[in-house]
Structure 1
Amino acid sequence: MSRHLSAGVDGSAESLHAAEWAAEEALLRGVHLRLVLADQWPVSAATPVVGVGQHQWDEELLTDAASHLRKRHPGLEIATLRLSGRPASALATEAAEAELLVLGSRGLGRIKGFLVGSVGLATIGATERPVVLVRGTGQPDDARPIPRIGPHRDVVVGVDVHHPCDALLAFAFDEAARRDCTLRAVYGWSLPPVVRDASALAAAEREMSPDVARRLGDMMLPWRRKFPSVEVVEASPIGVPALQLVQAAADADLVVIGRRIRRSHLGTHIGSVAHAVLHHCPSPVAVIAHD
């Protein structure tokens, strides 16, 4: 089986913007790109009413998207595939065969955006493969991003010093090494809720900050040795973890977060931090599932 990345398209500008990101990522990895479309994707202004012309419309959409990307990236091998079934399930099955699944995201604010966002969240919960959500630029030419000029920006990874995760750090370091850019490791933490007054807060922060920084440094040390070419910047700011990560990743090339694999009769949950970062971070976000 050939190595490839998969990108889901649905006719929206956001999904085509994500496909462009996926094409650049495929070139970085030296793999093929597969554009996929789930035939039961929720109907929106970008798609026709399901009927006799649906299959033809799907095929034309895939063909047009592939043609556009081939013109921009003539050295990239691109295939297309129409998936059957509900989007989240179909995309999760597709992700199992790919190194990475890339999806577009409109974010919050409108019903149309929520429908596409719900597909992305459901897909993340349904697969244990890495998934990247790429936010649209919000401009009329969303699907035609300006080609990257100059060096890559930083890769940011959100970590928890109390729960090390090899899969998360392996992915983040590999992405930073591939881009030849700085990796910023961020751990946001909070003081115990019993600490109330300002002087006690300041004292607690002074006492705890060095230990938190040491723990973060210890977590990064073996990965620094494994990836000596990657410059690593460690940050352990005090504050809400999701907020600290979103602020640190405002202009990042890629943000890498983890989600614990939880299975229950109530369904799969991605976690509050991952959920907040996905909805509020403007940069592409990679979600790495782990035990």
Structure 2
Amino acid sequence: MTTTAPRPVVVGHDGGYASSGALRYALAEARRGAAPLRIVHAMPLRTSAFVDLPVLAEELDAERRQVEATLRAEASRLAGDVAVQVVTCHGAPASVLLGSAEDARLLVIGREHRTGLRRLLGGATTEDVAAHATAPVAVVPEGWHDAQTPRQRILVALKEPAHSAELLGAAFRRAEQSGAIVRVVHAWQPDDRVSGDRPDAWTPQALLVERAASAIDDLLRPWRRAFPGVIANVEVHLADPRTDLLEESAAADLVVLLRGEAPVFGPHLGGVLRPVLHAADCPVLLVPATSGQLPPLDLELERAGTMLR
């Protein structure tokens, strides 16, 4: 009987302190899933017509070996029984990471801190990778450490029933492993405009909230049966989704979000995913949408305001 080798956890490492949290998170995930860890380092290649290429190749190879040795030393200090592979490639960081993670079960990257002109000229690696990876992507703050006191809460940002199976499945499995509570949050801003085909004029907001909570409870029912040891709570908020999720992340160990289909070129994460990705107080897990979908929420709820986007 043949056995299939476990797919690796892949982590991007830029060689600096900013990647230390991502490395620790990736090691914890690899250990949790009995999977190998692949550390990927991209080495941008910038050359000139006045540079002697044979000499440059020797210097680049020496630099690559030095980077590999440094990363291996750091990994061996933290890895324990996790099998570690180090990969260094010349190329744009986003392209290198995406190419190296085609077989990954999880791709882990550190939160990017470049802003303004530096981010515009150098590209947004975090957003490019998060938008286009085929595997789930975890974005980790640089200060993350697995020794910190757990908050015992996994936050699920639920926009609509479509693709809720991916989100809830990821959250319940992690909650079962860690003993955390699943907190499912759905937020939208009511639209004050009133017209003949909108329920705002005659439907109390409290009733809309009650209906949304009931619909989400229905979605949770099979997951609660499958994971009887996991406690799951539902919160429906009339609030700006971005502000609401950032506030909720302060009491969570992990935020789980759905990532929709990305365009062929450039990142496209939407008005909620982007700020949460860059400012959440804990790691953020982006789960890619699949082709399977469920019916949308009550259309009256959709018409009542702007839901998570």
TM-score under structure 2 normalisation? 0.78
Contact kept? 2:112, 2:125, Cα under 8 Å: no
Deviation track 1:254-278 (CA, whole Å, cap 9, x = no partner) reads 11111111446x6552222111211
Shift of 1:194: 1.2
Contact kept? 1:128, 1:290, Cα under 8 Å: no
What residue in structure 2 maps to residue 3 of structure 1?
Answer: 7
Deviation track 1:72-112 (CA, whole Å, cap 9, x = no partner) reads 33222211112343222221122221110111113464655
Shift of 1:117: 7.3
Contact kept? 1:216, 1:236, Cα under 8 Å: no
| 1:40 is aligned to 2:39 | no
Shift of 1:152: 5.7
Distance 1:259 1:84, change over 3 A: same
What residue in structure 1 maps to residue 142 of structure 2?
Answer: 136
Distance 1:117 1:286 in 2: 21
Distance 2:176 2:34 in 1: 14
Distance 2:6 2:277 in 1: 30
What residue in structure 2 maps to residue 238 of structure 1?
Answer: 238
Aligned-partner residue type, residue 92 of structure 1: L
| 1:14 is aligned to 2:18 | yes
Shift of 1:285: 0.8
SS of the residue 1:187 aligns to: strand
Flag as ranges the 4+ runs of structure 1 deviating above 6 A. Answer: 113-117, 200-203
Distance 1:34 1:5 in 2: 6
Aligned-partner residue type, residue 178 of structure 2: R
**Mean CA deviation greater in 267-276 or 111-120:** 111-120
* Structure 2 counterparts to residues 1-291 of structure 1, below 5 A: 1-40=5-44, 53-107=59-113, 109=115, 118-137=124-143, 147-148=146-147, 153-194=152-193, 204-263=204-263, 267=266, 269-291=268-290
Contact kept? 2:185, 2:235, Cα under 8 Å: yes
Aligned-partner residue type, residue 156 of structure 1: L
Segments of 5+ residues of structure 1 without an aligned counterpart are 43-49, 138-144
Deviation track 1:126-146 (CA, whole Å, cap 9, x = no partner) reads 222111111123xxxxxxx65
Q: CA RMSD in A?
A: 2.9
Aligned-partner residue type, residue 225 of structure 2: R
The count of corresponding residues between Structure 1 and Structure 2 is 273
Distance 2:66 2:108 in 1: 20
What residue in structure 2 maps to residue 142 of structure 1?
Answer: none
TM-score under structure 1 normalisation? 0.82
Point out the structure with max Rg over C-alpha. Answer: 2
Shift of 1:17: 2.0
Distance 1:26 1:202 in 2: 52
Distance 2:165 2:75 in 1: 34
Distance 1:257 1:5, change over 3 A: same
Distance 1:114 1:177 in 2: 41
What residue in structure 1 maps to residue 302 of structure 2?
Answer: none
Deviation track 1:142-175 (CA, whole Å, cap 9, x = no partner) reads xxx6551665631111111353432222112222
Aligned-partner residue type, residue 119 of structure 1: T
Distance 1:202 1:79, change over 3 A: farther
Deviation track 1:25-62 (CA, whole Å, cap 9, x = no partner) reads 111112111111122289xxxxxxx8753433333233
Distance 1:112 1:192 in 2: 37
Distance 2:121 2:238 in 1: 34
Among the aligned pairs, what percent are the same residue? 25
Segments of 5+ residues of structure 2 without an aligned counterpart are 47-55, 195-199, 291-309
Contact kept? 1:10, 1:41, Cα under 8 Å: no
Contact kept? 1:259, 1:271, Cα under 8 Å: no
Distance 1:95 1:234, change over 3 A: same
Distance 1:64 1:272, change over 3 A: same
What residue in structure 2 maps to residue 45 of structure 1?
Answer: none
Contact kept? 2:254, 2:285, Cα under 8 Å: yes
